A and B are shown apart, each in its own frame.
Chain A
Amino acid sequence: MDWSALKLSFELAAWTVLILLPVGIGVGRLLAVRQFRGKAWVEALLALPLVLPPTVLGFYLLVAMGGDSTVGRLYESLVGRTLVFNFEGLLVASVIFNLPFAIQPIQRGFEAIAPEVRDAAACCGLSAWRTLWRIELPLAWSGLLSAVVLTFAHTLGEFGVVLMVGGNIPGETQTIAIAIYDRVQAFDHAGAGIMSAALLLISLIAIGAAYFASSHAQARRHD
């Protein structure tokens, strides 16, 4: 078992969730509540990582954040090391790659709230913050939970983008999914097997919890 790879994967997943949760709430709510010109295009753009091969996205991110790019040069001059082939680069890629997994469930969660409930909150004198905190988030919580679980599990299992942007540096950018691949390449099937089983178990628990929570919420709604 490569503990450093597992730890790195968990750190990456946790940071990705931490960054994407507020983004998901903001963007998901906006897309659920507001109608604006070009909304379909914005939604399509945000869903793009779902259909794009991870290597393609990884390639573009590598180009955009590499040492020759403006972003890459700026980062290097500020921090003193490259963005790609580092944890920070991995995190940026992971955040972008997980946008649809965070935003879409939250958007569906907000969409499921009857518009009159928001109107009623306004007529009760609730501020926008109070309405979000006290009314909307509790009602959209199964969407939030799905977003957290999907983003977390998906980050743990991500391979293509991570390999393209982070390379395969043990202890720095080698995540558990890449470590499994490495072991197989080195004919260490037992090591790959243990790590695969661990990843399978974690994913199963996460996704099972999300489904349980959402079906529980649905059953309560239909009581």
Chain B
Amino acid sequence: MTEPGLHVRLRQQGPIPLDAALECAPGEVLALVGPSGSGKTSILRAIAGLLQVGEGSIRINGDTWFDANQTINLPARRRRVGYVFQSYALFPHLSALHNVMEALLEYPPAERERRAREALSRVRLAGLEERLPRNLSGGQQQRVAVARALAREPKVLLLDEPFSAVDRATRQRLYRELAELRRELAMPVILVTHDLDEALMLADRLCVLHQGRTLQSGEPCAVMTRPESVEVAQLVGLRNVFRAGVLCHDESRGMTTIEWRGHRLEARLQPAFAPGMQVTWAIPQGHIVLHRRDRPSRGERENPVSGPVIECIALGENVALTVAVNGPDRPPLFLNIPAHVARRNDIAAGVEIGLSLLADGIHLMPADDSRTPAKPR
């Protein structure tokens, strides 16, 4: 049976512990997200054949590249992967054109050059073919690396933090270019990043990794707003994570009610958690609404809470607020608001503010993390 796409299972105890399972369909961009040392690059290297793993298998469109049980392990040069390295790893002594031509050795020289020129013009580098990598900007080097990776018509494209070595303006431009380019790509694409916004912008699916384990995969938005565990919640940067008790479910209204610090909060219906259970709940900052002082609105009836601002930090066009709810010694709520909203509402440290916790954003998780224990390395 031929399964289209990339199917990866990797397991080993050491030297780099791995316990990863991931799938990536043709044309799909899967972002591997996790902190430094979470094994993202190791997984990429294992797929490319640059790192041999103790157990598992790697299959692409029905072909087996690696299978520990059948002792199959195709060398990197026979796997047909396009790999864009974090540092681009261009051949420093070869021109942009010859960098790409090296990936096209299976063709006769004339064809090789024609294809390389075509690949470079596809990434808008026509006219710069003869330049050496050191005479290209960071963004241009990245494009040569992409052209070289795609020139071989790889079965899978691997991108290892491809935007980390360029300045912010270039990065924004490269995002747009990759977003355009990916529409033409028919192979599975794996993007390693530690930047969640990057994953949100470019990926179809997100896979969260920690200490070599794949914790959760799914649509980026779903993973980031509905993590399966506290561990994932922390890894995707959710800061508002609290304990609560489940009170009841109201299926007709599609609501689950929880009790948090004496407040009855209504959440999206999540019947997997029985009444009486202790749960952990989280809310993304985008689902916390600030009550306006001058013009109260109907929305303020939705899970209202209040408390003094204990910290107010200006972060460019936004202001990061820390709000103490039900006492200063309990974990506070965090939210970002635009700077002009903060100014208009005279928000500063010590000011009492009202907030609504939108029911749709309240997400319940098991109270303890025993299902996914964090093993120290």
Main secondary structure of the interface of A (DSSP, over half): helix
Partner of A117, one of B76, B79, B91, B134: B91
A122 at the interface (CB under 8 A from B): yes
* Closest B residue by C-beta to A134: B102
Among B80-88, B249-257, B362-370, the stretch that binds chain A is: B80-88
**B92 interface contact, C-beta 8 A:** yes
Cβ of A127 < 8 Å from any Cβ of B?
A: yes
Count residues of chain A with CB under 8 A from any CB of chain B.
20
Instruction: List, in ascending order, chain A residues with CB within 8 A of B135's CB.
Output: 223
Q: Please pick, from B49, B75, B85, the residue contacting A120 in the complex, using a CB distance under 8 A.
A: B85
A126 CB–B CB distance under 8 Å: yes
A127–B106 CA distance with the chains assembled, in angstroms: 12
On whether the beta carbons of A119 and B89 are closer than 8 Å, the reply is yes
Of A119, A135, A220, most buried by chain B (CB within 10 Å of CB) is A119
Is B77 touching A127 in the complex (CB atoms < 8 A)?
A: yes
Is there an interface contact between A116 and B152, defined as CB atoms closer than 8 Å? no
Question: Cβ of A116: which chain B residues have Cβ within 8 Å of it?
Answer: 85-87, 89
- Name the one of B77, B91, B105, B134 contacting A123, with C-beta atoms under 8 angstroms: B77
Chain A residues positioned under 8 Å from B78 (CB to CB): 125
Tell me the minimal C-beta distance from B220 to chain A in angstroms: 27
* Contacting pair B83 A223 (CB below 8 A): no
Encoded as 1 (CB less than 8 Å from any B CB) or 0, chain A from 119 to 144 comes to 11111111100100011001100000
Of residues A114, A116, A119, A123, which shows the largest number of chain B Cβ atoms within 10 Å of its Cβ?
Answer: A123
Which interface residue of A125, A135, A220, A221 has the most chain B CB atoms within 10 A?
A125
CB pair B91 A122 closer than 8 Å:
no
Are the CB atoms of A139 and B89 closer together than 8 Å? no
Q: Are A121 and B102 in contact (CB under 8 A)?
A: yes
Given A130-B105, A139-B92, A223-B134, decide whether A123 and B87 contact each other with a Cβ distance below 8 A: no
Q: B residues 63-121 with Cβ under 8 Å of A?
A: 75-83, 85-87, 89-93, 102-103, 105-106
Q: Which residues of B contact A (CB under 8 A)?
A: 45, 48-50, 75-83, 85-87, 89-93, 102-103, 105-106, 134-135, 148-149, 152
